[in-house]
Amino acid sequence: MQISRRDLLRSSAAVAGGVTLGGLGLADAAVAGTVPLAPTTRKRVYLKGEPDATGWRPVVEGPGEPYVVRSLGAKPQAGRGKRRKPLLAFAQLSDVHIVDSQSPGRVDYLDRNDDDMDGDGQNDGHGIYKSAWRPQEILGAHVADAMVRQINQIRRGPVTGKPLAFAIQTGDNSDNSQYNEVRWNIEVLDGAEVRADSGDLTRFEGAMDGTPEYYDVRYWHPEGTPEGLEDDRPRSMFGFPVVPGLLDAARAPFQAEGLAMPWYTAFGNHDALRQGNFVWDQAFEDRATGDTKQITPNVYRTVTPDPDRRPLSKKEWIEEHFTTNSATAPGPVGHGFKQHNRETGLGYYYFDAGLVRFIVLDTVNPNGNQNGSIDPTQFSWLQSVLKKSSKKLVVVASHHTLSTMTNGYTGSAQPGPRVLGEYILGELVEHDNVIAWVNGHTHTNHIWPQQVKGKPGRFWEINTASHIDWPQQARLIEVADNRDGTISIFTTLLDHAGPAEWSGAIDDPVQLAALSRELAANDWQEQGSDRRGTTGSRNTELVLRAPKFLR
């Protein structure tokens, strides 16, 4: 098995029937003169700027992006913007990866296997260790809060003007399935006071501080260089800044705003497995809550033990979603999970939003490995829910994509066969009312058309980037009945509330989120990646044939 990597997938599907509309196009016509454009990527985008003399890349603003119209089995009809009936608008957040970066349960020291900081052109890790440590990982809670603030500011679908009914997280809400990480995520979305700190609450104890005996040049040390030692390589090679006080600022309590709408959640591999790949065993559970943290392949340091670093079982993870520390939490109680889920530990459910039914799958293989699958019991449940949903538009939500549901591992955690993506696809296309599958996992924006020759159903697979890696985006999704035998699904990418340029302030959570975006843009292991995706996977109008009951 492998340590979870961030470069999981390259887009292999061409844009189906795509055309970029310049000026006032079909999708823009839906909003012209009616709904003001919200501060989304339709208005402006954030891009990586050119590196300066030190190698540091600023984040710069670019012009907003129009909607690309893509069709699947139905020709877009002129005038549909005037006929259109909005059905639903919601927000998708994915791969937040809130990290306890001080935890002994993490494997930071493996990250160097994917560096070329020696300049020899060799990369022995082949991309599989890139998520073991990130320079921006200490600011994950601040990024999540800044995204919540932006969603609350927008409140409506930018195309239809319909109020956002809810938000849904599509997994990897935590990074290492630890109790404290899970709680920080819930508290950000619920609007509680958040303190993303563990162990000794008076100081940072991890790979990034400046303690001379543990100082390692392969990590970014924002406090600077201890006397008599060389500058770390992120600063000397890539222009990373010195930010005095950052480690304390990242650990300081702050009041999260909390979503102004209900929110739902799905289970991801990082919410279940040790750094997204391995089944927890007693030795590693003891290590996570213990007092010894490995910093390099040969260096260990003593840290303050913390029982809140314990990993959660799936049943415990579900149970935490019934507990809030906020007096104004938006609900619903359980965030999608019901009493049945609490009792059984089953991580799948469905809920209705008007005419649209959401089927939320648990695609994590508890036997290990980053990729996904489901068990036969869940597959039978999926078939039964689809059968009784014939008068609903169906949207499936999960963590994994179809193409990453290839994990057939069996083991003691859950014996028996696994159902892979191709079989789930085969079931979904039997139903012409399935219109979309919304997911994450790849940390890159993708949209794929899905159909099988000779089958009545076809749908769009909408895959959204992460909060932890560049470009740190979420997505707004709107569903509309064009009342001409077609449905349109609008997707609009959303940047969090942090500005393009960090001001230098470290006492403001939104400014810390802006710094995190800049750090992510300069992650040296990510310079060859373009996780923004193609234009046909960003702002889109996805047209498809309406199901028979709507035609």
Q: pLDDT, tens digit, for every residue of 248-298?
A: 999 999 999 999 999 999 999 999 999 999 999 999 999 999 999 999 999
pLDDT tens, residue by residue, 503-538: 999 999 999 999 999 999 999 999 888 899 999 999
Among 245, 78, 81, residue whose Cα is nearest residue 159: 81
By percentage, how much of the chain surpasses pLDDT 70? 91
pLDDT tens, residue by residue, 408-419: 999 999 999 999
Are 438 and 465 a contacting pair, CB within 8 Å? no
Cα separation, 525 vs 115, whole angstroms: 7
Angle subtended at Cα 74 by Cα 69 and Cα 79, rounded to the nearest 5 degrees: 60
Q: Is the pLDDT of residue 10 over 60?
A: no
Strands 292-294 and 540-545: unpaired
Q: Which DSSP string do the residues of 17-70 spell out, in sequence order? A: S-EE--SS-HHHHTTTTTSPPPSSTTTEEEEE----TTSPPPEEEEE--PPEEE
Tell me how crowded residue 284 is: count the other CB atoms within 10 A of its CB: 17
Average pLDDT, the chain: 92
Cα separation, 321 vs 259, whole angstroms: 15
φ and ψ at residue 341, rounded to 5 degrees: -65, -40
pLDDT tens, residue by residue, 415-435: 999 999 999 999 999 999 999
- Quote the tokens at residue 392: 């609903």
Cα separation, 398 vs 361, whole angstroms: 5
Cα separation, 147 vs 379, whole angstroms: 33
Which residues, at least 6 apart from 139, have a Cβ–Cβ distance to it below 8 Å? 250, 512, 513, 515, 516, 519
- Quote the tokens at residue 435: 């219109």
Looking at residue 119, its pLDDT comes to 55
Report CA torsion sign: 468, 469, 472, 478.
negative
Q: How confident is the model at residue 392 (pLDDT cuts 50, 70, 90)?
A: very high
| 288 sits in which H/E element | helix 282-289
Cα separation, 255 vs 54, whole angstroms: 36
Are 440 and 531 a contacting pair, CB within 8 Å? no
| 360 sits in which H/E element | strand 356-360
State which CATH number among 1.10.10.10, 3.60.21.10, 3.40.50.300, 3.40.640.10 fits the domain covering 19-545. Answer: 3.60.21.10
pTM above 0.95, yes or no: no
Q: How confident is the model at residue 16 (pLDDT cuts 50, 70, 90)?
A: very low
Order of strands, sheet of 356-360, starting from the edge strand that comes earlier in the sequence: 349-353, 356-360, 393-397, 434-439, 458-463, 446-451
Q: Give the pLDDT mean for 155-160.
A: 96
pLDDT tens, residue by residue, 49-67: 999 999 999 999 999 999 9
List the single range of 27-41, 71-85, 135-149, 388-402 with lowest mean pLDDT. 27-41
